[in-house]
């Protein structure tokens, strides 16, 4: 496909986002930026959360990873569904009762300012790395099919992508993102289903099931207790990932807190939750069909050191083997996923830093000084994401989906322990020691995670590293407890 056509499509798509953002951000103030004036439409928020949670990682990495993980990723998705129910009925009422804008303000009220800053720091770290990893995956594809033909180096292309995202998130914040993310979800899901429909005409269905069985592509449950994708590890890990990466994550919760009331916010989460199993199953089905098509037509997939480059499978087939329109549809879906995965992150990183560290009050009228600081913070986080992407470019080796979930186990563990301890115990803690506990717990988790296989015949924690991390944090907080808090 001509890079000129790709550039034209992305330019039109971007102009559409800018137009929507401009219209929705008219007369925007800091209440619009932080909480959308508490007037967000719940079903728009729910629709936008789909693209927020899926991103380019799901669009590329989940289908590609089918070659090694088969359908076992669905085990994590089942855990997500359970975890989101816990978020809707335990965490959401807490946030609304306390009228929070940054959810880490709860940690400040429960423990003290150091705890609030520690929780916020782990969110900032987690989401900066996560957003960079998601953007890196999509930027790599755009680099190959769009920027390389024009002779534009990766560093410059990443700057262009970040710059485009900054343009339409700079002013409107959450008020605009509710609309732009919903629009991007429509494009992302449309690309998925159009690609599936397109593959229907390319697959030789008389031998398709034979290829699936030969490769065990239909393997869903893994009962062997040693590997990381064991059923119980992935179910428990999925529950905790959903609780932490949705319910304890400012990026996912800020738009929920912009709804008119808790009833609408809960409807949003439950509606979004009801789509998870179906959408992820369709993405995994897409992966199976891509590999079936490649084998039926003896297509040599991209490899490195004898291993399939799983994150390159979908774009490779879309652009080179599935017809001239497949690449265009792929680019639209990827662009929607790319922008959606980063735009809300920039806004919520800015929110968390301004409220938890700088102590801005979104209920007060914003001064010119505070507005300038907010804008500067927004830009700084964009630069940090850019730098992180360039680092990942040097270190990446394997499917990004596994990397992101692995990192989450270490960075979200302290948040899990702090929130659980605060909600389910009445103990006070010595606030100044919290940072020590939250630094040691990921370190101890890493030592245990890397040592276990050597002493247990290969046993891998997998997603249970998040549970272990949270448990160590909880135990550490118990050790620094001083007396019962007042009821």
For range 106-129, the mean pLDDT: 93
Q: Are 484 and 428 in contact (CB under 8 A)?
A: yes
Predicted pLDDT at 420: 96
For range 165-189, the mean pLDDT: 79
Q: What does the pLDDT look like over 152-176, one tens digit per residue?
A: 998 999 898 888 888 877 666 777 7
The DSSP result for 104-155, as a single string, is: THHHHHHT-HHHHHHHHHHHHHHHHHHHHHHHHHHHHHHIIIIIGGGT--HH
CA 179 remoteness from chain centre: 18
Q: Look-up: residue for tokens 């550039």?
A: 7
Closest alpha carbon to 178 in 338, 348, 331:
348
Closest alpha carbon to 259 in 107, 49, 81, 416:
49
Task: Tell me how far apart the alpha carbons of residues 272 and 45 are, in angstroms, rounded to a whole number.
Answer: 9
Task: Tell me how far apart the alpha carbons of residues 13 and 179 are, in angstroms, rounded to a whole number.
Answer: 14
Q: Where are the beta strands (DSSP E) in 138-220?
A: none
Task: Tell me how far apart the alpha carbons of residues 289 and 215 are, in angstroms, rounded to a whole number.
Answer: 12
Task: Tell me how far apart the alpha carbons of residues 202 and 322 are, in angstroms, rounded to a whole number.
Answer: 8
Predicted pLDDT at 294: 93
**Cα distances (angstroms) measured from residue 471 to each of 212, 232, 429, 474, 475:** 40, 17, 16, 5, 6
For range 134-162, the mean pLDDT: 86
For range 144-153, the mean pLDDT: 88
The DSSP bridge partners found for residue 310 are none
Own/partner contacts of 313-316, CB < 8 Å, gap of 24 or more, are 313/63, 313/64, 313/67, 313/287, 314/59, 314/60, 314/63, 314/64, 314/286, 314/287, 314/290, 315/60, 315/141, 315/144, 315/145
Closest alpha carbon to 338 in 313, 320, 322, 315:
315
> Based on C-alpha coordinates, what's the Rg of the chain?
22
* Structural domains of the chain, ranges and CATH numbers in brackets: 3-416 (1.20.1730.10)
Q: Are 244 and 408 in contact (CB under 8 A)?
A: yes
Q: Are 442 and 411 in contact (CB under 8 A)?
A: yes
Q: Residue 199: which pLDDT band, with cuts at 50, 70 and 90?
A: very high
Q: What does the pLDDT look like over 258-315, one tens digit per residue?
A: 888 999 999 989 998 999 999 999 999 999 999 999 999 999 998 887 888 888 899 8
State the DSSP H helix or E strand holding residue 48, giving kind and residue range, or none if neither. Answer: helix 42-56
pLDDT at 487 over 50: no
Kindly give, in sequence order, each residue whose CB lies less than 8 Å from that of residue 377, ignoring residues fewer than 6 positions away.
350, 353, 354
**Highest mean predicted confidence (pLDDT) among 119-123, 309-313, 369-373, 479-483:** 119-123
- pLDDT-above-90 percentage for the chain: 41
Q: Are 310 and 61 in contact (CB under 8 A)?
A: yes
Q: Identify the three-state secondary structure at position 52.
A: helix
For range 371-392, the mean pLDDT: 88
């Amino acid at each position: 496909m001509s890079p000129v056509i790709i550039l034209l499509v992305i330019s039109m798509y971007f102009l559409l986002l800018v137009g929507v953002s401009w219209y929705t951000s008219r007369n925007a103030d800091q209440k619009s930026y932080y909480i959308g004036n508490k007037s967000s439409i719940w079903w728009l928020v729910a629709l936008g959360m789909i693209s927020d949670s899926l991103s380019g990682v799901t669009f590329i990495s989940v289908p590609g990873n089918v070659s090694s993980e088969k359908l076992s990723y669905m085990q994590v998705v089942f855990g997500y569904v359970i975890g989101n129910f816990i978020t809707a009925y335990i965490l959401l009422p807490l946030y609304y009762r306390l009228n929070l804008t940054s959810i880490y303000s709860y940690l400040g009220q429960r423990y003290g300012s150091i705890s609030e800053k520690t929780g916020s720091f782990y969110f900032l770290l987690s989401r900066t790395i996560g957003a960079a990893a998601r953007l890196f995956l999509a930027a790599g594809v755009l680099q190959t099919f769009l920027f390389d033909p024009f002779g534009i180096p990766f560093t410059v292309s990443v700057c262009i992508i970040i710059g485009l995202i900054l343009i339409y998130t700079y002013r409107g914040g959450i008020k605009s993102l509710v609309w732009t993310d919903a629009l991007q979800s429509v494009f992302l899901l449309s690309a998925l289903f159009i690609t599936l429909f397109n593959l229907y005409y390319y697959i030789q269905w008389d031998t398709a099931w034979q290829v699936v069985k030969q490769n065990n592509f239909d393997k869903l449950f893994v009962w062997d207790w040693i590997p990381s994708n064991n059923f119980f590890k992935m179910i428990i890990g999925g529950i905790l990932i959903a609780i932490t990466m949705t319910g304890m994550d400012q990026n996912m919760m800020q738009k929920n807190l912009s709804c008119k009331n808790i009833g609408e916010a809960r409807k949003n989460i439950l509606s979004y939750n009801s789509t998870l199993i179906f959408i992820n199953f369709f993405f995994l089905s897409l992966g199976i069909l891509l590999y079936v098509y490649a084998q039926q037509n003896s297509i040599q997939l991209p490899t490195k050191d004898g291993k399939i480059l799983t994150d390159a499978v979908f774009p490779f087939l879309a652009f080179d083997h599935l017809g001239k329109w497949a690449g265009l549809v792929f680019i639209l879906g990827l662009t929607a996923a790319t922008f959606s995965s980063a735009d809300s992150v920039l806004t919520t990183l800015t929110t968390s830093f301004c409220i938890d560290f700088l102590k801005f009050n979104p209920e007060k009228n914003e001064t010119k000084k505070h507005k300038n600081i907010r804008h500067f913070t927004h830009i700084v986080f964009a630069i940090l994401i850019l730098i992180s992407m360039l680092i990942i470019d040097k270190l990446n080796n394997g499917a990004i989906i596994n990397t992101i979930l692995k990192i989450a186990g270490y960075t979200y563990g302290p948040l899990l322990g702090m929130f659980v301890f605060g909600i389910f115990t009445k103990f006070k803690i010595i606030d100044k020691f919290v940072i020590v506990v939250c630094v040691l717990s990921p370190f101890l988790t890493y030592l245990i995670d890397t040592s276990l296989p050597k002493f247990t015949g290969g046993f891998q924690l997998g997603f249970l590293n998040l549970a272990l991390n949270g448990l160590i944090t909880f135990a550490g907080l118990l050790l620094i407890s001083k007396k019962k808090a007042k009821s």
